[in-house]
Chain A
Amino acid sequence: MSGLQIVFLIVAVVTLFSGVMVVASRKMMHSALWLILTLLGVAILFATLQAGFFAIVQVLVYIGAISILIIFTLMLTRRVMDEEHPQVIKGWWLPAVMAVILFGLIAGFLATWKDFQVMLNELPADAENLAAFGSALVNPAGYVIPFEVASVLLLAALVGAIYIAAERKEKVG
């Protein structure tokens, strides 16, 4: 067993455990803290796969947004200060079954993939994978359509948010 595999096992256990703690801990704030640990675990997995860009983006986009998430927790949830509140809702088993089925589907689908058994291919240290990723995003033969669709979707969300939040002066009074 190589050092990388040991690192992977430790990180995977920590990530899964803190993922469970996100939904199992009694206080909302502690859930947010566990979420930081979960996302950090995923970032480390990216880093061990030599995808440094994704590791940093994981930290930047998700962990950086935790403070905003905490603000939403404070402002939008009731009884955030309480020690005890119900932890499960009625019919909790339905999402659980859905999650298990989804996991089974993804795992089964991946198992049929021919490269599933392949071990990690070491990239050369000076591999320009960041530049390759960048040009793939704007390449017509690559991912330009999903990229543009996502951009338009985000723009629409932004415009919508501004429209909802803007003061309408004519309706005042």
Chain B
Amino acid sequence: MSFWRDPIIFIIEWAKGLLAGIGWGPGWATTVGFVIGAFVLAAGAMFFVVFLIWYERKLIGRLQDRFGPNRVGPWGLFQPIADMLKIFTKELITPSGVDWIAYNLAPVLSVAAVLMMWAVTPFSKTFFGVNISVGILFLIAVGGLGEVGIILAGWGSNNKYALVGALRAVAQLCSYEVPFVISALVPVMLTGSMSLVDIVEAQNPWYILVAPAAALIFFIASVAETGRAPFDLAEAESEIVAGYNVEYSGLKFGMFFVGEFLHAFTASFIFVTVFLGGWRGPGADQIPVLGLVYFMIKTFIVYFALILFRGTNPRFRIDQMMDLNWKVLTPLSLVVIMVIALVDRLFASSADWLRTVILLAANLVILVVAERLIRRGVKTTRPEVGSRQRPVASPDNLFIQPGSGAKG
């Protein structure tokens, strides 16, 4: 196996050979390999967040007619590093009367719950932490650990606002788990396995083409699970006091912040794994490292959509958010799973392409009917406020900024 075709597995094999050379048994070598692998993956994820924060701030800035970070380094690339250094040096203030264990356990849990999702995701054909037979259930189970982190933060802070914020957040997360789990069952049903590795291998074509209705529900529910706009009621800074994390400062607050960014990215690669074919693409079977490239490209496309979502939608009221979940997404996902089960069973013996087309048609019919039902009785025309044309700042060259001396 050459280095360029699959560098990660090549390095692992080389390290195993090295350990065997100094007389370690294969059992010990595997154990050490897992420990090092877990450490590298977790540390890599944490450093990756630094880049994600820059990417997101820059994009949100563009969406809001601003430049975003642009002072430190080229295009402001080193801004998050400066922020990180600042947050490391900040004082850790512990309010009086906190529940010490709950207060300190909460930030750790909220990051750990997200990092654990990286353990089961197949990044390429050969590169994944573990292939457990119940991978998708594992994802949902560790998501529940994050909720425990939030409620512990709210309780441990000895602050009424934090507690109310935590209750609000947990109400949201628990509610959106219902359509999330039900729509995640559709790929499991189509594959016949709960292992994420098997789900990716079985996607021919991608499941978003087979079950777009389930994919849409899954996407909306996973945005809600990450707790970002338009579902950021848990920490609506501009309207109510920010939620469960008001009493945290310094690095402990930073942990929640990192957890949130990492969760958004993780949610997009889980969507890619389950519905967009994961690492699949031309040539990815022969050259596994290409799979990693495809995986990252797809993930960043979904992440971009997530940021567009965040930047362009106003925040829901809490009753609207609950209405969307319990009156639209949950019934819709139940209908989708029943229809797909029925159609999949009825056409089990027909050709694959025919079954795919029929499943797609059934999904589109469900979406159209649902759209009609939701629109019924909704006021469709609204009086126009203000003029359509408004001045926008539109720099000719995105990378050359006014005032930097360069000619655009």
Contact = CB atoms under 8 A, between A and B. Distances in A.
Nearest to A64: B144
Nearest to A80: B155
B364 interface: no
Interface string B142-166: 1111011011100110000001000
Given A63-B148, A64-B147, A67-B147, A56 B155 contact: no
A23 interface: no
A42 interface: no
B102 interface: yes
B134 A52 contact: yes
Given A36-B148, A53-B134, A74-B163, A68 B140 contact: no
Interface residues of B, number: 27
B141 A67 contact: no
Contact of A52 (B133, B140, B145, B148): B133
Contact of A57 (B99, B105, B137, B145): B137
B151 A67 contact: yes
Interface in B84-113: 99, 101-102, 105
Contacts of A57: 137, 141
Contact of B170 (A30, A53, A67): A67
Q: How many residues of A sit at the interface, in one of the four size bands?
A: 20 to 34
B194 interface: yes
Contacts of A36: 148
B132 interface: yes
Q: Is chain A's interface secondary structure helix, strand, loop, or mixed overall?
A: helix
Given A27-B99, A29-B155, A130 B134 contact: yes
B141 A60 contact: yes
A21 interface: no
B99 to A, nearest CB: 6
B174 A68 contact: yes
A56 B141 contact: yes
A49 interface: no
Given A29-B152, A60-B141, A67-B147, 12 more contacts: A29-B99, A33-B101, A33-B102, A33-B152, A52-B134, A56-B137, A56-B138, A63-B144, A64-B143, A64-B144, A71-B170, A74-B167
Interface of A: 27, 29-30, 33, 36, 52-53, 56-57, 59-60, 63-68, 70-71, 74, 130
Interface of B: 99, 101-102, 105, 132-134, 137-138, 140-145, 147-148, 150-152, 155-156, 163, 167, 170, 174, 194
